[in-house]
Structure formats: C-alpha cells, structure tokens
Amino acid sequence: MAVAVVAATDAAIQEAGRRLAAGDLVAFPTETVYGLGADATSDAAVARLFDAKGRPRFNPLIIHVANPPAAAALVVLDGLAERLATAFWPGPLTLVGQRTPDCPVSYLACAGLATIAVRVPAHPVARALIRAAARPIAGPSANRSGRLSATRPEHVAADFDDRVALVLDGGPTPLGLESTVVEVVGGRATILRPGALTEEALMAVAGPLERDEGTEGHPRSPGRLASHYAPERPLRMNATSLLPGEAGLAFGQAPAPSFADAPNLSVREDLVEAAANLFAMLRALDQGPATGIAVAPVPEEGLGRAINDRLRRAAEPKGLC
Ligand code: TXA
Ligand code: MG
C-alpha cells in the first residue's frame, strides 16, 4: 500500500514521535533532504530501516539529536569538534568521532564501527519530531539505496510503500543537498562528504582541511561508493551541447541553443538556488522520455563543489549499491 503523507502539524508530529518510539519508520523534512527516521537505540527498528531502504549494512547511518548536549552524550566532542559544533549546529554539518563509552545507539546503526556520525538538524519539524520521540533518531536520506535523495514528500512516497508508517510533509527542503560529513581525529578535520555546508565556511572555523578522496575506491565514509546518487538514465557532466535523445539541464546562460528549453538549475547562476533544485530536476528528467541527461558546467566553488560531487556520482556507471 502507498505510504501516508500528512501535513506536519503539531498533532501529526506528536503522533510521528509515538510511532518512532514504538519502532516504526517515519520520514521527515530536514533543512537538507528528507530523512527516513528510526529509533537509533533499537536494533529492531534500525534493521527495519536498512531493509526498507535496501541499504547495505556496512553503510552506517547519521544519528539526529535535538541539541549539542544530546550529541555530546553520543560522540566525543572536544577541541576542534566542539568548535565546529558550536559554530554550525543546528545546521547541515555531520560530525564523525569516537562513540562515548555509554552511547546507547545500536551498533547496527553504526555498522559496528567505533565511530559515530551525529548531527543536530535546523529544520523546525525535524527538531520537534526528535523532541517528541525523546530519543536519538537514525536518519539516512529518505530514498531507496542507490537512488537520488528526496527533497520533496512526493519523492519519498515514490520510493517507499507502507513499510514507512508516515511521511511528515514539510514542503520542499530548503537546502536540497545532504549535510557535509566531517571527521575530526587528533585535532584535524577531514571532509568525508562535501555537502550543504561549504568548505569555505568550515575553513573559516577549522583552518586547513583534508579531503577524503578515497584510496583505491575505499573511501573512509562507507557510503561514498561510486554509484551512490544514480538516476536511471546515463548522465553527462560539463555538457556544452546535447546528443541525440538527451535532455539538458542548464545552469545560468544556456551553453548552446539546444539547452534553451531545458530546465535551469539557476538562471542567475546562484549556487544556493541550484543546490535546492538539483535532485528534483534530476528526478523529473529521469522520468521523462529522454534516453540520457546532459548537465551544463557548474563552477567548482562553494556549493558548486558538492553539486559537482553528486553529479560525478550520478555519472558513474551503476554498480556497487
Ligand atoms: O543531510 C543529511 O546528511 C541527510 C539528512 C536526512 O540528515 N542524511 C543523509 O544520510 O544523507 P545518509 O545515510 O544518506 O548518508 C550518511 C553518510 C554516508 O555516506 C555514511 O557512510 C556516512 O554518512 N557515515 C555515517 N556514519 C559514519 C561513520 N561512522 N564514519 C564515516 N562515515 C559515516
Ligand atoms: Mg543517502
């Protein structure tokens, strides 16, 4: 049966909190993308979540909490990690660090690792839901494994059936790209996944950063497998013209007349607007009649880095997960 999509009223949020506490799955908006939530302290709820997503169990989940003290109960936050938390929480930053000794989160949620990924979302519905559930919430992006992240409730409904108890409808997510995942070890910060918080903003607080490009296809963040963000159609980046059968996705001034009627990530070359549009436009093109998707060049700066990262992954031949 189809999943129930309900407006995120106070009453619906309270009901969703009860469903989470009872071990059910609830999809909810965050400022980045929709999350598929489960009680992070329950092995059974987390197992249900992996099954519903079709997610490989070696790929750990991000744990969502309501505030920084709740995060500090799960992950060791000291020095640089604490400075980053103070600067960017609530917001689109996920911090990876050592689990605290009495961390109650299911090891299944963390794929058995000694580290844990935690974030404090800024979206009012996400925050109210975590408070209503009164426990940490495991929340991967609310898409089937290997598909594009969901930025609208209808994307969630298209990917799941009633194994998800309900979707809280908070409209389109404001940022449209997943959080930036940063690991802090020994006073050094490494970006494991570029995302909605830019490298420039992070560097203003953390100084020089490292990037985990992955060695021999083994990135430190297990979710960074090459074909993670794949549409069904083959995708080409940095396209300046369309090949027969392709649909275009423009950015700024269309690079060729053939792009003139194509959807445009941002006519005024605003990377924030482009990030918010990216997944919804890709999903729409992926459902159209075209046999491929050609994306115009997007500058490799600020949010453009995370946009190009997602496009590179979407352009990889499908494989691993
Ligand atoms: O914006 C977001 O981050 C969204 C919203 C819903 O919060 N969530 C999200 O979750 O994108 P997900 O599960 O799709 O991506 C989580 C990423 C994966 O690449 C995973 O491998 C990585 O975080 N991750 C989780 N725990 C980790 C750990 N202990 N060490 C390294 N990477 C970790
Ligand atoms: Mg995801």
Pick the CATH number of 235-315 from 3.40.50.2300, 3.40.50.10490, 3.30.750.24, 3.40.50.11030: 3.40.50.11030
Q: pLDDT exceeding 70 applies to what percent of the chain?
A: 94
Ligand 1 centre from 291 Cα, in Å? 31
E-only strand ranges, the chain: 5-7, 26-29, 34-39, 62-64, 93-98, 115-119, 137-138, 166-169, 180-185, 188-193, 210-211, 235-236, 246-249, 292-295
Q: Is the pLDDT of residue 317 over 80?
A: no
pLDDT tens sequence across 232-279? 899 999 999 999 999 999 999 867 788 888 999 999 999 999 999 999
Q: pLDDT tens digits for 155-207? A: 999 999 989 999 999 999 999 999 999 999 888 899 999 999 999 999 999 98
Whole-angstrom distance, CA of residue 132 vs CA of residue 130: 5
Average pLDDT, stretch 133-158?
95
As for ligand 1, residues whose beta carbon falls within 6 Å of it are 30, 32-33, 35, 59-62, 94, 96, 110, 113, 115-117, 119, 139-141, 178-179, 181, 192-193, 220-224
Please list the residue range(s) of the chain that carry CATH number 3.90.870.10: 5-177
Looking at the domain 5-177, which fold is it?
DHBP synthase (3.90.870)
Q: What pTM was estimated for this model as a whole?
A: 0.92
Which has the higher per-residue pLDDT, 73 or 58?
73
Residue 228 has pLDDT above 70, yes or no: no
Question: According to CATH, where is 3.40.50.11030 located in the chain?
Answer: 235-315
How many Cβ atoms from other residues are within 10 Å of residue 15's Cβ? 17
Residues 31 and 177: their CA atoms lie apart, in Å, by 9
Ligand 1 centroid–CA 121 distance in Å is 13
Contact 32, 161 (CB under 8 A): no
